């Protein structure tokens, strides 16, 4: 069994970097007790590159991060820095500028407005932050800039995040009222408002999309040369008879990508019969085939599925946990815990940690503290870390050091959970 014990302070460089990237409370505890100027380069790099595993789901802990920037004395360099890198790096940069502006740092507001450039997804970096910061004035700035983009490229798709943010603050339709009053004299705002109203009307009047036929889906599965991400949605309301051709494809001697896409499709069905003849696929040479075969089979509580999971645990933990997450029993705990090692790849680590959380949720007899502590310590995802703490708190098995550092976690959920134990 792995030893999950209290981290020693001060944190060494690698431990501080890891904790800072993940938003763990121990990084904040280090900040409060020690001089982080020794780690100035680490903090600056973390402020430049977004390390949040899934920003759309987890959010960006900018308010939590700002004290590190202040302690490392990198606020001024960040304000003057031109944003670069990936989409989320630029979003992260704008979010930090927003926090700096709220705290009154000179030049932060102007820097945020300068960073408000077009994204590759039809919006503007920092648009919602500007609206939160400056209300109607911010909305007008964003709308004018979007309108200018539209006037130079009429077919451009634009998002509505700034309008939605303003309406959230001031009530449904408030943004249109503000923009309508200015559209008479401002051509850019008029262009954006026209686009906004047309898009809203089209959305309201558009007919429901027709569902693709079984034959068309089969042809798509057989012809595709890449992973088809939307197939699972098609299968949600399929009958067993409609799914049968996909089972036949999955069990046939075809290219792995074809088998994978058939299994992707099957994995989305709400009603899915257990097909034991799929069990050999959990040992298929292709990793994606194994993954989706396990996903299809792992939703069923069945001794054969459990045995298959245990049989591949030592060779392929990700596939094994997909099979075991509703099938594991108390007697499997020691074997599973012994197999849980840190995984260098963040996506693979998240997948394994997520399945451990699923086991904790769905297998009451398996609620071992070591399983939750593995997730807490190694998952790159704040939400999974929160789920782990929830299990530890609920079972009165949360170590004092987790309760202590959890009070400083970037995750509001973790902070609330440990606060309930006070």
pLDDT (tens digit, 9 = 90+) per residue, 283-341? 999 999 999 999 999 999 999 999 999 999 999 999 999 999 999 999 999 999 999 99
Q: Does some domain include residue 63?
A: yes
The reply to whether 149 and 134 lie within a common domain is yes
Task: Report pLDDT for 70.
Answer: 97
* pTM score: 0.90
More confident site: 347 or 208: 347
Spatial distance between the Cα atoms of 115 and 188, rounded to a whole number of angstroms:
19
Query: Residue 5 domain-assigned?
Result: no
More confident residue, 146 or 233: 146
Q: Would 121 be classed as within a structural domain?
A: no
Q: Averaged over 254-260, what is the pLDDT?
A: 96
Place of tokens 């999309």: 209
Rounded percentage of the chain residues whose pLDDT exceeds 90: 84
Determine contact, residues 417/389, Cβ cutoff 8 Å.
yes
Residue 132: pLDDT over 60: yes
Average pLDDT over residues 3-16: 89
Whether 343 shows a pLDDT value over 50: the answer reads yes
Mean pLDDT of the chain: 93
What is the total count of domains within the chain? Answer: 4
Q: If you average pLDDT over residues 191-197, what whole number do you get?
A: 91
Q: How many whole angstroms separate alpha carbon 104 and alpha carbon 26?
A: 28
**So what's the pLDDT on residue 74?**
97
Q: How confident is the model at residue 2 (pLDDT cuts 50, 70, 90)?
A: low
Residue 270 pLDDT more than 60? yes
Of the candidates 46, 52, 4, the residue with the CA atom closest to the CA atom of residue 377: 4
Pick from 205, 233, 262: which residue ends a domain? 205
Peptide bond into 10 cis (omega under 30): yes
Would 149 be classed as within a structural domain? yes
Are 286 and 318 within one domain? Answer: yes
Say if residue 303 is in the same domain as residue 230. Answer: yes
Out of 205, 224, 252, a domain closes at 205
403 and 355 in a common domain: yes
Q: Which tens digits make up the pLDDT trace of 362-404?
A: 998 888 899 999 999 999 999 999 999 999 999 999 999 999 9
State what percent of residues in the chain have pLDDT above 70.
97
Query: Residue 165 to residues 127, 146, 171, 230: CA-CA distances in angstroms?
Result: 9, 15, 10, 29
Cα 287 to Cα 40, 50, 137, 201, 356, distances in angstroms: 41, 29, 52, 45, 19
Q: What phi, psi does 118 have (nearest 5°)?
A: -65, 135
115-128: average pLDDT: 93
Distance in angstroms between the alpha carbons of the first and the last residue of the chain: 29
Q: Are residues 90 and 32 in the same domain?
A: yes
Shared domain for 21 and 96, answered yes or no, is yes
Given a cut of 80, is residue 344 above it in pLDDT?
Answer: yes
pLDDT confidence of residue 206: 57
- Of 181, 205, 229, which one is at a domain's C-terminal end? 205
Q: Which domain holds residue 84?
A: 13-114
Q: Is 338 within the bounds of a domain? A: no
pLDDT band at 1 (very low <50, low <70, confident <90, very high): very low
Regarding whether 246 and 168 lie in a shared domain, the answer is no
**Rounded to 5 degrees, what angle do the CA atoms 69, 74, 35 make?**
60
- Average pLDDT score over residue span 265-276: 92
Compute CA distances 218 → 224, 255, 265, 267, 269, whole Å: 10, 14, 10, 15, 15
> Residue 199's pLDDT band (boundaries 50, 70, 90)?
confident
Q: Is pLDDT of 48 > 90?
A: yes
Residue 89 lies in a domain: yes
The token pair at 40 is 């100035």
Q: Are residues 289 and 247 in the same domain?
A: yes
Confidence band for 203, pLDDT divided at 50, 70 and 90: low
Would you state the structure tokens that stand for residue 399, as one six-digit string? 């170590």
Chain segment 89-113, per-residue pLDDT in tens: 999 999 999 999 999 999 999 999 9
Kindly state whether residue 300 falls inside one of the protein's structural domains: yes
Do 54 and 95 lie in one domain? The reply is yes
Statement: residue 44 has pLDDT above 60: yes
Let me know if residue 2 belongs to a domain.
Answer: no
Same domain, 279 and 353: no
> What are the backbone angles phi and psi of residue 271, rounded to the nearest 5°?
-115, 115
Alpha-carbon span 301 to 379, nearest angstrom: 26
Beta bridge partner(s), residue 118? 124
What are the φ/ψ torsions at residue 347 (nearest 5 degrees)?
A: -65, -45
């Amino acid at each position: 069994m792995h030893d999950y014990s209290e981290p020693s302070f001060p944190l060494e460089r690698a431990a501080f970097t890891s904790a800072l990237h993940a938003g763990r409370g121990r990084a904040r505890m280090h900040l409060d007790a020690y001089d982080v100027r020794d780690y100035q380069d680490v903090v600056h790099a973390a402020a430049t590159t977004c390390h949040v595993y899934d920003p759309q789901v987890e959010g960006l802990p900018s308010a939590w991060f700002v004290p590190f920037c202040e302690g490392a004395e990198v606020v001024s360099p960040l304000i003057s820095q031109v944003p670069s890198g990936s989409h989320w790096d630029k979003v992260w940069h704008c979010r930090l500028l927003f926090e700096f502006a709220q705290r009154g740092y000179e030049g932060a507001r102007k820097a945020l407005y300068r960073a408000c450039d077009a994204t590759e997804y039809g919006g503007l970096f920092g648009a919602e932050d500007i609206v939160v910061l400056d209300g109607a004035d911010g909305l007008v700035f964003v709308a004018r800039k979007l309108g200018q983009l539209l006037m130079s490229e009429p077919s451009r798709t634009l998002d509505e995040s700034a309008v939605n943010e303003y309406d959230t603050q001031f009530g449904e339709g408030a943004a249109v009222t503000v923009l309508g009053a200015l559209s008479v004299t401002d051509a850019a705002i008029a262009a954006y408002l026209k686009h906004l109203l047309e898009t809203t009307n089209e959305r309201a009047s558009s007919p429901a999309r027709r569902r693709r036929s079984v034959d068309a889906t089969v042809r798509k599965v057989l012809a595709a040369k890449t992973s088809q991400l939307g197939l699972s949605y098609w299968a949600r309301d399929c009958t067993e008879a409609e799914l049968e051709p996909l089972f036949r494809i999955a069990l046939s001697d075809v290219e792995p990508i074809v088998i994978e896409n058939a299994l992707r499709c099957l994995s989305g069905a709400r009603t899915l019969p257990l097909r034991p003849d799929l069990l050999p696929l959990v040992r298929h040479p292709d990793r994606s085939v194994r993954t989706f075969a396990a996903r299809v089979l792992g939703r069923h509580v069945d001794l054969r599925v459990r045995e298959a999971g245990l049989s591949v645990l030592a060779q392929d933990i990700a596939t094994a946990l997909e099979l075991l997450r509703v099938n594991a029993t108390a007697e499997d705990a020691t074997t599973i815990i012994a197999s849980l090692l840190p995984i260098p790849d963040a996506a693979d680590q998240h997948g394994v940690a997520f399945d451990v959380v699923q086991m904790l949720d769905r297998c009451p007899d398996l609620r071992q503290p070591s399983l939750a502590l593995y997730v807490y310590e190694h998952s790159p995802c704040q939400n999974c870390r929160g789920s782990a703490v929830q299990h530890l708190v609920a079972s009165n098995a949360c170590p004092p050091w987790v309760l202590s550092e959890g009070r400083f976690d970037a995750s509001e959920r973790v902070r609330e959970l440990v606060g309930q134990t006070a």
